[in-house]
Amino acid sequence: MDNLELLSDYSSFLREKKEEGKKIIGFISHDNIPEELFDAAGFIPLRLLFAGNDEFMDASHDYLPPSTCAFAQSCIGLFSLKPNQYEFLDLIDYFIVSNHCVSDICASEIISKRFDIPRLNFYIPYTNNENSIKYFKLELLELKKQLEEINGKEIKDENLKESIKKYNSFKRKLLDFSFLNISGSEKLKILQKAILYGPFFLPELESFFEQRSDNEIQTSFNSKEVLLTGGSIFINDPLIDLVEEGGGNITFFDSWIGNNYYSQIIANDILDSIKNPYDILVHRFKNNNFGDHSVPNFLENKILQLEKIYQDHLKKTGRKLGIINHIIKFCDHISLLSSHLKNRLQEKGIQVLNLERDYSRAIRGQLSTRIEAFLEMI
């Protein structure tokens, strides 16, 4: 299935949901946004996880300077140009303005203001200590209030708990899926689709497992194994092809579309022991140690995490993983610490490529060359 088909199917899916009377909430796809709360309130969450291109980026320059992150630019461009395959964006009823980073705020604010989509605010504290966690709960309750006002009815705790469980099982399945030994591009395609649809995708995911009996699953690739960290590879981004054409295979996606999403699973004992469902979401935020939003320990945590994955992989397969740190041009979160991340990991003998790029076509040749050169070194 190519992406045109994916987008067209998704469009039909959203239309159906609208016909059922559901409302759609759009947001820029990072982490910490409580999609379970939307689900419990009967909304359909729509993550903006679409990659950009020259046209989208250019179209955003009426609103933001070109030195804004290429992804945020493209999200604005999508709304501005709204090509046919993205016409489902017209179905969005509300848009979340959140502060994963400041570009997220600016882009979301512009989308809401300029394209007349009522906004809902959800702000996340930058630190992750006792008081920030308490603040996070305030935001959750504030968001609940906003949703209840729209619906004119209360969101029941048991409904929220159900939604949390539903998403939890979905993430567990995705986690299992992430271990399958299939090519990176195939894996990514499913991950993108799964995160776009959310738990609605669960039956398809399960049938994917069924169809793939063990002997069908490829067990080895001749390609160099790569872990992708940093920014996600969003839908319609050819980056994964460039990696595979260069002789690499991404076996681990450590990004918002990837581990950052499906690793945030709430343990069963927590689900059973914490009665208040908002406290469960708070608990998840507290344990989100590897996300890029929080300061001041992001770099330390990320290095520990990547080193552990690398060593585990080495022990298990005897092979080294190369790490591509994908930096979307002008991304505050991934870019600022990138040279330190690379140096610290290289000191430990782990090869890292800091791959910075925007979404322009002109840069593809250069990206291929850099990826190939890196893969040769592994």
Partner 1 sequence: MSLIADEIVRFSSVLRISYNLLTGRDYLKRKKFREKKKLISIALPFSDLVYGFPNLVPTFPIRMHTFEMHKYLTYLGSASRIFGWKNVSNFLGIIKNLNIGDVNKIIDEIINDVIDAVNNKYNEMYELGIENGVPTDFCYGIKSLYGMHVSKGKNVEANLNYTIRCSAWNKYLESLKTIENPAKQIWIDIPPRNIGNALELLTENLYDGIRELEKISGNNYDRNILRNHFQVANEIRNYYKTILYDISTLGFYPCNPATFSEILVILNNSFQDYNSNAIRYRDNMASLVKEMKERIRNKIGMDVSKMPRILITPMFGGWEPKSHEIIYELGGRAFYADWDILLLLEEIPITKISDPVEAYAHYLMNATKNGIGCDNDTLTDSYLRLARNLRADGLVFIQVFGCHSISNCYAMLKDKLRRELEIPSIALNFNRIGENIEQVKTRLGAFMEMFN
The contact set with ligand SF4 (CB under 6 A) reads 30, 69, 71-72, 100-101, 103-104, 231, 328, 331-334
Which of 25, 37, 59, 106 touches partner 1 by CB under 8 A? Answer: 106
Query: Binding to partner 1 (CB under 8 A): which residues in 107-136?
Result: 109-110, 113, 121, 123-127, 129, 131-132, 134-135
CB of 71 to ligand SF4, least distance (A): 4
Residue type, 151: N
> Which one of ligand SF4, partner 1, none is in contact with 377 (Cβ closer than 5 to 8 A by kind)?
none
Query: Binding to partner 1 (CB under 8 A): which residues in 269-328?
Result: 295-300
> Residue 201 and residue 193: Cα distance in Å, rounded?
8
Report if residue 105 touches partner 1, rule: CB under 8 A.
Answer: yes
Q: Which helix (H) or strand (E) holds 317?
A: helix 298-317
**Sheet with strand 23-28: strands edge to edge:** 43-48, 23-28, 94-98, 119-122
> Which one of ligand SF4, partner 1, none is in contact with 267 (Cβ closer than 5 to 8 A by kind)?
none
Nearest Cα to 237, choosing from 175, 326, 137?
326
Cα 194 to chain centroid, rounded: 11
CB of 291 to partner 1, least distance (A): 13
Report if residue 348 touches partner 1, rule: CB under 8 A.
Answer: no
Q: Are 117 and 93 in contact (CB under 8 A)?
A: yes
CB of 65 to ligand SF4, least distance (A): 11
CB of 96 to partner 1, least distance (A): 12
CB of 182 to ligand SF4, least distance (A): 27
CB of 146 to ligand SF4, least distance (A): 22
CB of 82 to ligand SF4, least distance (A): 20
Give all strands (DSSP E) within the chain, no chain letters. Answer: 23-28, 43-48, 94-98, 119-122, 224-230, 248-254, 322-328, 352-357
CB of 107 to partner 1, least distance (A): 9
Q: How many residues bind partner 1 (CB under 8 A)?
A: 51
> Which one of ligand SF4, partner 1, none is in contact with 328 (Cβ closer than 5 to 8 A by kind)?
ligand SF4
> Residue 105 and residue 110: Cα distance in Å, rounded?
8
Cα 161 to chain centroid, rounded: 23
Residues 6+ away with beta carbon under 8 Å from 54: 359, 360, 361, 362
DSSP secondary structure of 125-178: -SS-SHHHHHHHHHHHHHHHHHHHHHHTSPPPHHHHHHHHHHHHHHHHHHHHHH
Query: Binding to partner 1 (CB under 8 A): which residues in 83-102?
Result: 97, 99-102
- β-strand pairing of 352-357 with 248-254: unpaired
Cα 295 to chain centroid, rounded: 19
Query: Binding to partner 1 (CB under 8 A): which residues in 52-81?
Result: 62-65, 67-69
Which of 103, 178, 325, 351 touches partner 1 by CB under 8 A? Answer: 103
Furthest CA-CA distance within the chain: 60
> Which one of partner 1, ligand SF4, none is in contact with 138 (Cβ closer than 5 to 8 A by kind)?
partner 1
Q: Which residue has the tokens 């046919």?
A: 84
- Interface residues toward partner 1, by CB under 8 A: 62-65, 67-69, 97, 99-103, 105-106, 109-110, 113, 121, 123-127, 129, 131-132, 134-135, 138-139, 141-142, 295-300, 329-330, 332-333, 335-340, 343, 356
